[in-house]
């Protein structure tokens, strides 16, 4: 009986840094010439408006979808998909903008 010995190999993925040579659009952002940034996938490279640079270059693109902090006293926006909270007491209907008068 032979033992199967497998060795675990870890591969480090080195980020591919590029510099924009022309204005382009990447990571949902407009990239101006001279900006260095990391590619998410090596297949994202475009020789039309990018050149490869050293991996030690800083990534100058800021995340496009950052969560904005709320201001003091600010309430979250209401959504059309969530029901509005009712201020009417049980058994009574909430007042309407036109009262009981029909607008039709």
Least Cα distance to 34 among 48, 45, 46, 50 occurs for 50
The boundaries of the domain holding residue 28 are 17-52
Is 33 part of a structural domain of the chain?
Answer: yes
Is 27 part of a structural domain of the chain?
Answer: yes
Model-wide pTM > 0.75: no
Mean pLDDT of 89-100: 65
Is 38 part of a structural domain of the chain?
Answer: yes
Is 44 part of a structural domain of the chain?
Answer: yes
State how many domains the chain has. 1
Lowest mean pLDDT among 16-20, 47-51, 100-104: 100-104
Is 77 part of a structural domain of the chain?
Answer: no
Number of H-type helices and E-type strands within the chain: 0, 5
Is 76 part of a structural domain of the chain?
Answer: no
Is 47 part of a structural domain of the chain?
Answer: yes
Residue 94 CB partners (closer than 8 Å, separation 6+):
86, 87, 88
């Amino acid at each position: 009986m032979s033992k199967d010995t497998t060795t675990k190999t870890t591969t480090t993925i080195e980020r591919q840094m590029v510099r924009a040579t022309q204005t382009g659009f990447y990571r949902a952002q407009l990239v101006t010439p001279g900006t260095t940034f990391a590619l998410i996938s090596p297949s994202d490279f475009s020789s039309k408006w990018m050149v490869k640079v050293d991996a030690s270059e800083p990534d100058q693109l800021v995340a496009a979808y950052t969560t904005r902090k709320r201001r003091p006293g600010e309430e979250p926006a209401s959504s059309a998909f969530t029901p509005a909270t009712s201020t009417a007491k049980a058994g009574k209907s909430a007042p309407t903008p036109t009262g009981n008068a029909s607008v039709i």
